[in-house]
Amino acid sequence: MTHSTLGPAPATGRRPAGQSALVIGGGLAGTAAALALADAGLRVTLVEGRPRLGGLAFSFHRSSPAGELTVDNGQHVHLRCCTAYQWFLDRVGAARLAPLQGRLDIPVLDVQGRSGRRLGRLRRTALPVPLHLSKSLATYPHLSLAERAQVGRAALALGRLDPQDPALDGVDFAGWLRRHGQSPRAVEALWDLVGVATLNATAPNASLGLAAMVFKTGLLSRPDAADIGWARAPLGELHHTHAHRALDAAGVTTELRTRVTAVARTPEGRWSVAMAGRPGHEPPTEADVLVLAVPQRQAHALLPDGALKDPGKLLRIGTAPILNLHVIYDRTVLRRPFFAAIGSPVQWVFDRTDASGLKNAPGAGDSQYLAVSQSAAYDDIDRPVAELRDRYLPELERLLPVARGAEVRDFFVTRERTATFAPVPGVGLLRPSAPTDAPGLYLAGAWTATGWPATMEGAVRSGLSAARAALGHLGRPHVNPLPAPGGESPKEAA
């Protein structure tokens, strides 16, 4: 996969006069849209209210008792089937910083060890779909023999569904699983193990359409589709530093700490925006096309009258929280890069010692930094830090016996109360497509109608969709940088 067919701008950062685009929002969606528009020859300005790019996948610095750290606000992963996010990493020159597993392998710890074995593995072989997971499922110790057989039958039934079928959007995933013989234990040990992390919702609160999309694309499309990748460097290095450098090289004008306060169409049919954070004497910025790559409520506030038939739908797209707990021990308590847990409130745990800079921090010694990622954390998102510490440190000791004798050098929390849109049944009817009813105005963001849940993949896809629609409106030839479903080369469109 390559972005070279887009014809990136030369590194001089200069663009000839011509058609222009304005992108509001510097998250993954906005950055992807700006790069795609610039690669097609437009003069692009990207405006972001924060002092950084990256949206909700970012890093910050922390002075910890264990040393100076660079902390990701949350643990983000992607899969091999996430071709848009991989395009983004390639395009900004950061692919080496977020490599993929050679082969899917998820260690799953059961704190209760009902089968007598606390550790199970979900891993694939090189066999074709669906046989690639058959050996792992046959030996998965956290389910009974009967439950494994039922899971296999349900997986085959799920593979026959069409995620694009509108009827699936209104059905809850839990009800479908019950009707297909899935026990509560199977839901906990398999379906929610994967689904909560990818959908940010438990099965009762997830649309069957989105769940089918996740499992069919990730587990049932090709053998290597679910191989996991994650950043081995701080997210800010990927999504801000490398992305900003790529934008500069493409000739994009990037304005940080600049908030858009109003959007209007000029008598000439162009788009004008007023901004806060600029000197007061500067006139509004104008462009031929405008991409709003901001959260749904912010988009609703900025949309001009008539841009959507029912703009109130945007306000009915709910949100879901993600909580991250950051624990630094005085010694190594985990010898794997990550694991998932069942039978415990703990969901996924990652070793962030190297990526945070802790390994080389003066005085760190053998300290280890673990990030505990808790999706759909409605019950915990507003708990005080002291309560979270009392709740989760004993759980980590149950899962990792070595931690029982370790000193906790630091414990802190990051909270994203509106981390993603809530993928509840019926949400598909609320998600708008990229084009609006106002010519030249486009929407981007993981909450738009990408067909994906709220992931980094969905965000990048939304930006590329908005750019593609904008270029079509301008009559500009452009190339879709993503591989077609059959794997053939990208094709130019007019």
Q: What is the pLDDT of residues 388-400, one digit of tens each?
A: 999 999 999 999 9
Residue 280 in this model has a pLDDT that exceeds 90: no
Q: What does the pLDDT read at residue 479?
A: 78
Over residues 264-268, mean pLDDT: 94
Query: What's the rounded Cα separation, in Å, for the pair 48 and 338?
Result: 33
Residue 470 in this model has a pLDDT that exceeds 90: yes
Q: In this structure, what token pair is assigned to residue 225?
A: 């589709």
Strand-pairing partners, residue 322, are 375, 416
pTM of the model: 0.93
Q: Which of 97-106, 149-158, 198-207, 474-483 has the lowest mean pLDDT?
A: 474-483
Local confidence band at 348 (pLDDT 50, 70, 90 cut-offs): very high
Side chain identity, residue 264? A
Helices (H), ranges, 400-477: 456-474
Q: Which residues contact 4 (CB under 8 A, 6 or more apart)?
A: none
Query: Which tens digits make up the pLDDT trace of 44-75?
Result: 999 999 999 999 999 999 999 988 999 999 99
Residue with tokens 């190339």: 479
How many helices (H) and strands (E) the chain has is answered by 16, 21
Residue 276 in this model has a pLDDT that exceeds 50: yes
Local confidence band at 115 (pLDDT 50, 70, 90 cut-offs): low
Residue 234 in this model has a pLDDT that exceeds 70: yes
Q: In this structure, what token pair is assigned to residue 171?
A: 């059905």
Q: In this structure, what token pair is assigned to residue 26?
A: 């510097």
Report which DSSP code applies to 108. E
Of the two residues 416 and 9, the one the predictor is more confident about is: 416
Over residues 131-160, mean pLDDT: 95
Q: For all residues of the chain together, what is the average pLDDT?
A: 92
Residue 457 in this model has a pLDDT that exceeds 70: yes
Beta strands in 343-407 (DSSP E): 348-351, 368-375
Residue 377 in this model has a pLDDT that exceeds 50: yes
Q: What does the pLDDT read at residue 279?
A: 59
Query: What's the rounded Cα separation, in Å, for the pair 220 and 159?
Result: 7
Task: Please check whether residue 230 is in contact with residue 76, taking contact to mean a CB–CB distance below 8 angstroms.
Answer: yes
Of the two residues 446 and 488, the one the predictor is more confident about is: 446
Pairing status of strand 43-47 against strand 20-24: parallel
Query: What's the rounded Cα separation, in Å, for the pair 30 and 291?
Result: 8
Residue 1 in this model has a pLDDT that exceeds 60: no
Query: What's the rounded Cα separation, in Å, for the pair 211 and 77?
Result: 17
Local confidence band at 263 (pLDDT 50, 70, 90 cut-offs): very high
Local confidence band at 16 (pLDDT 50, 70, 90 cut-offs): very low
Task: Please check whether residue 59 is in contact with residue 72, taking contact to mean a CB–CB distance below 8 angstroms.
Answer: yes
Beta strands in 225-331 (DSSP E): 228-230, 253-255, 259-265, 271-276, 285-287, 289-292, 319-329
Query: What's the rounded Cα separation, in Å, for the pair 252 and 262?
Result: 22
Q: What does the pLDDT read at residue 241?
A: 98
Query: What's the rounded Cα separation, in Å, for the pair 106 and 226?
Result: 10
Residue 472 in this model has a pLDDT that exceeds 70: yes
Q: In this structure, what token pair is assigned to residue 295?
A: 């959260």
Query: What's the rounded Cα separation, in Å, for the pair 132 and 338?
Result: 22
Residue 7 in this model has a pLDDT that exceeds 90: no
Over residues 85-114, mean pLDDT: 94
Q: What does the pLDDT read at residue 109?
A: 96
Q: What does the pLDDT read at residue 17?
A: 54
Query: Which tens digits make up the pLDDT trace of 326-345?
Result: 999 999 999 999 999 999 99
Residue with tokens 């689904």: 195
Residue 285 in this model has a pLDDT that exceeds 90: no
Side chain identity, residue 456? M
Q: Report the alpha-carbon angle 176-182-184, nearest 5.
A: 110
Q: What does the pLDDT read at residue 284?
A: 65
Q: What does the pLDDT read at residue 484?
A: 63
Q: What does the pLDDT read at residue 487?
A: 46
Query: What's the rounded Cα separation, in Å, for the pair 201 and 199?
Result: 5
Query: Which tens digits make up the pLDDT trace of 300-331?
Result: 999 999 999 999 999 999 999 999 999 999 99
